[in-house]
């Protein structure tokens, strides 16, 4: 009886215990009959290997829940993921702080991919404790397959980033090179985490034919560019400013990459120009061109409190940074913030070279206004002043420098015009000086002391065409001159008196244009049918004199060529009657004059002598005698003409001078719109 009781009791215990177990399979499976449920927890609940799912082939996760089986299943999945993450981390070394968050994300992604193949293969319910247990498994081969595909894809991408980055760097396409290197730098850590995950899952090292390019290698490439990318100024530094209208020269800098001590120009790099001291209006955002240069123009200076202004040109970090979305960019590219070069310019308020009378100031202002009146109003040209010469000696003198300084003082105040302090060599011709200094126009002139006062004559020359754009002339009475300046003019050094330079065609021409008879015994006038012309317009000359005499009428076009209008093939005798208008061309000629250009200032000089004097040996076979600039014959002719006029007795001749302006066809504008106020 006693043993039966024991057996019965044991049977009862077994049955009761059996009621607690056996939730096999998924949560929606039917719970087996109590008689069939195991009385003790399965091995996998106790942490032992399940023979059905050996760890050599499967990844295992055990979960539990005191609420329901679904929660146990979720716990099993979660524990499988946690175990996998821990094992992956344990295989990784040398992970920087900045990479940690990113790698954590990669591991999370790959573990989630692994979990897509997870199945719940067993379950158990402990009725005594009220706890549900669940077994999650996934085949290692299935988990590894998706990761292997990702590894191959990333290895290929990294190799492509490396190759294309190296190629772009070799052709100095820096922005493209950085883009490829930064993409590789961002992607490389994921390869390490993936390979660690693959090792944990497969328990073997993954072999690959591709080189495993590390994050450090991409970082080295990026730093090589960032550390050697720089700026230097090319031109426009150390300018002296005498006008609020801005700098005469643009500020030009170069973006370059330093390689083996060579500055390799870099294009397509954004930069920004900013004032560090002073204020003004300038072009701020620029991008380097094919030669690496960037350029900014200062259009207006707003602050004159500082004697020196500083403008920095920097790599535009914000625009460079905007090309890359990676969170790692700040760490790698931040050194670019400090890359810059600077430009300095000094401000000199316009001042007179010495104490001047108001008449002097007004005369120099008038001269300057005459010079700039024919510059098209929509332009903002660069202008330079060539030192004026003493007409008596054809030399630059000490007074020349004073005169030039005062003319520049006034011209610096002109609207929409930039004045440049030019540099030149002593033997350079004015046109060569202008081109070497990048001028749009240049001013040349001369002065001569006469009984009435100081005569100053000047011309504005277009650098590209070498044509005269405008001319100017003023007379300043002796008593209006500063005593020190007058002394310089009257007491020239012997070296200037004795030294004679060979004069050019242009110098003889200007001497002829400037010639005046201080005793002018009678009046001569020359008029044209209008003052402003376009190329192809018709022109008529009308000449009058109040004494009988012999007329020579010269038309000097903007490039310096001379046409003798009268006498001509159709009117070979140049005698004219007092009070009778001579018209050229007259209706009897049977043709009209139509201007052929070039555009610019055309000057007309009429000389009437009381005696029959041959000023020129004329060749009228082609209708009109021509004197060509730049030819040996032209130079000999202009020398002979200027010498002949200079030798005529002052009581027997008179002259007059007139100007017209020729526009290109269809390009007429209002002349004289630029005005310089008198400097008080």
Instruction: Report pLDDT digits (tens) over 552-599.
Output: 999 999 999 999 999 999 888 999 999 999 999 988 888 889 998 899
Which pLDDT does position 106 carry in this prediction?
66
β-pair partners for 122: 135
Which pLDDT does position 105 carry in this prediction?
67
- 10-30 mean pLDDT: 34
- 17-43 mean pLDDT: 48
Most confident of 19-33, 77-91, 228-242: 228-242
Size (the chain), residues: 680
Closest CA to 600 of 515, 533, 657: 533
Which pLDDT does position 12 carry in this prediction?
27
Please state which CATH number belongs to domain 227-347. Answer: 2.60.40.10
Most confident of 243-247, 322-326, 621-625, 669-673: 621-625
Which pLDDT does position 21 carry in this prediction?
41
CATH fold of the domain at 358-501: Rossmann fold (3.40.50)
User: Does the pLDDT of residue 507 top 60, yes or no?
Assistant: yes
Is the distance from CB of 323 to CB of 175 less than 8 angstroms?
yes
Q: Over the Cα atoms of the chain, what is R_g?
A: 48
Instruction: Report pLDDT digits (tens) over 207-255.
Output: 555 567 888 899 999 999 999 999 999 999 988 876 666 788 899 999 9
Which pLDDT does position 500 carry in this prediction?
52
Q: What's the CA gap between 422 and 419, in Å, rounded?
A: 9
- 412-440 mean pLDDT: 85
* Residue 15 binned pLDDT confidence (cut-offs 50, 70, 90): very low
Instruction: Report pLDDT digits (tens) over 275-294.
Output: 998 888 899 999 999 999 99
For the domain made up of 524-663, the CATH class stated in words is mainly beta
Any alpha helices (H) in 174-299, and if so which ranges?
174-202, 215-228
β-pair partners for 476: 454
Instruction: Report pLDDT digits (tens) over 186-213.
Output: 888 877 777 777 777 887 765 555 567 8
Is the distance from CB of 236 to CB of 343 less than 8 angstroms?
yes
How many CA atoms does the CB half-sphere of 346 hold within 13 Å?
Answer: 5
Q: Which two tokens stand for residue 2?
A: 């006693």
- pTM of structure: 0.56
Which pLDDT does position 370 carry in this prediction?
92
Is the distance from CB of 659 to CB of 603 less than 8 angstroms?
yes
Which pLDDT does position 267 carry in this prediction?
96
Which pLDDT does position 588 carry in this prediction?
87
User: Does the pLDDT of residue 315 top 70, yes or no?
Assistant: yes
3-state secondary structure 349-362: CCCCCCCCCHHHHH
The pLDDT mean for the chain works out to 83
Closest CA to 33 of 43, 19, 46, 45: 19
- 248-272 mean pLDDT: 94
3-state secondary structure 601-661: EEEEEEEEECCCCCCCCCCCCCCCEEECCCCHHHHHHHHHHHHHHHHCCHHHEEEEEEEEE
How many CA atoms does the CB half-sphere of 274 hold within 13 Å?
Answer: 7
Q: Which two tokens stand for residue 519?
A: 């005793």
What are the residue ranges of CATH 2.60.40.1930 in the chain?
Answer: 524-663
Is the distance from CB of 62 to CB of 152 less than 8 angstroms?
no
Instruction: Report pLDDT digits (tens) over 519-559.
Output: 899 999 999 989 899 999 999 999 999 999 999 999 999 99
Instruction: Report pLDDT digits (tens) over 123-181.
Output: 999 888 889 999 989 888 887 887 888 888 888 999 999 999 999 999 999 999 999 99
Instruction: Report pLDDT digits (tens) over 478-489.
Output: 888 888 888 877
């Amino acid at each position: 009886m006693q043993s039966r009781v024991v057996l019965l009791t044991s049977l009862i215990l077994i049955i009761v215990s059996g009621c607690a177990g056996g939730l096999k399979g998924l949560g929606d499976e039917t719970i087996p009959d109590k008689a069939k449920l195991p009385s003790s927890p399965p091995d996998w609940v106790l942490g032992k290997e399940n023979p059905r799912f050996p760890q050599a082939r499967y990844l295992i996760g055990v979960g539990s829940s005191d609420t329901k089986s679904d929660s146990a299943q979720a716990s099993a999945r979660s524990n499988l993921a946690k175990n996998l993450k821990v094992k992956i981390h344990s295989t990784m070394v040398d992970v920087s702080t900045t990479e940690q968050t990113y790698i954590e994300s990669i591991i999370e992604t790959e573990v989630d991919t692994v979990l897509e193949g997870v199945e719940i293969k067993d379950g158990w319910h402990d009725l005594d404790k009220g706890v549900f247990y669940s077994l999650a498994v996934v085949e290692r081969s299935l988990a590894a397959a998706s990761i292997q595909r990702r590894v191959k894809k990333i290895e290929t991408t990294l190799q492509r980033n490396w190759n294309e980055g190296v190629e772009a760097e070799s052709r100095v396409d820096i922005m493209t090179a950085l883009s490829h290197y930064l993409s590789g730098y961002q992607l490389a850590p994921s390869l390490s985490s993936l390979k660690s995950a693959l090792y944990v899952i497969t328990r073997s090292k993954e072999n690959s034919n591709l080189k495993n390019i590390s994050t450090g290698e991409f970082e080295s490439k990026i730093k090589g560019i960032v550390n050697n990318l720089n700026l230097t100024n090319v031109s426009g530094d150390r300018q002296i400013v005498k006008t609020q209208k801005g700098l005469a020269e643009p500020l030009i800098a170069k973006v370059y990459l330093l390689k083996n001590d060579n500055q390799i120009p870099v294009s397509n790099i954004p930069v920004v120009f900013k004032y560090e001291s002073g204020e003004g209006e300038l072009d701020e955002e620029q991008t380097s061109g094919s030669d690496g240069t960037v350029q900014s123009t200062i259009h207006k200076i707003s602050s004159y409190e500082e004697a020196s202004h500083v403008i920095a040109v920097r790599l535009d970090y914000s625009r460079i940074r905007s090309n890359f979305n990676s969170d790692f960019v700040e760490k790698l590219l931040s050194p670019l913030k400090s890359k810059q070069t600077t430009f300095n310019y000094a401000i000199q308020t316009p001042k007179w070279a010495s104490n001047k009378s108001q008449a002097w100031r007004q005369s120099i202002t008038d001269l300057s206004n005459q010079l700039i009146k024919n510059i098209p109003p929509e332009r903002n040209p660069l202008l330079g002043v060539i030192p004026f010469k003493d007409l008596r000696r054809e030399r630059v003198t000490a007074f020349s420098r004073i005169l030039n300084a005062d003319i520049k003082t006034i011209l610096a105040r002109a609207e929409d015009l930039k004045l440049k302090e030019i540099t030149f060599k002593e033997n350079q011709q004015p046109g060569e000086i202008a081109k070497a200094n990048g001028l749009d126009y240049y001013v040349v002139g001369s002065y001569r002391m006469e009984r009435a006062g100081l005569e100053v004559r000047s011309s504005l020359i277009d650098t590209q065409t070498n044509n005269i754009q405008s001319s100017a002339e003023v007379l300043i009475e002796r008593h209006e001159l500063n005593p020190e300046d007058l002394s310089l003019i009257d007491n020239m050094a012997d070296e200037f008196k004795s030294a004679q330079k060979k004069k050019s065609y242009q110098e003889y021409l200007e001497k002829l244009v400037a010639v005046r008879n201080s005793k002018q015994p009678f009046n001569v006038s020359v008029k044209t049918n209008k003052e402003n012309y376009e190329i192809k317009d018709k022109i008529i000359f009308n000449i009058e004199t109040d004494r009988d005499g012999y007329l020579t009428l010269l038309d000097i076009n903007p490039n310096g060529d001379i046409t003798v209008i009268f006498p001509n093939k159709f009117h070979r005798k140049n005698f004219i009657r007092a009070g009778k208008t001579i018209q050229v061309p007259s209706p009897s000629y049977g043709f009209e004059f139509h201007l052929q250009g070039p555009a610019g200032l055309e000057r007309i000089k009429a000389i009437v002598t009381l005696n029959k004097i041959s000023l020129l040996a004329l060749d009228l076979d082609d209708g009109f005698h021509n004197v060509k600039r730049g030819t040996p014959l032209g130079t000999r002719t202009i020398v002979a003409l200027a010498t002949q006029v200079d030798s005529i007795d002052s009581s027997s001749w008179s002259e007059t001078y007139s100007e017209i302006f020729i526009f290109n066809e269809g390009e007429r504008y209002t002349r004289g719109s630029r005005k310089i106020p008198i400097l008080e």
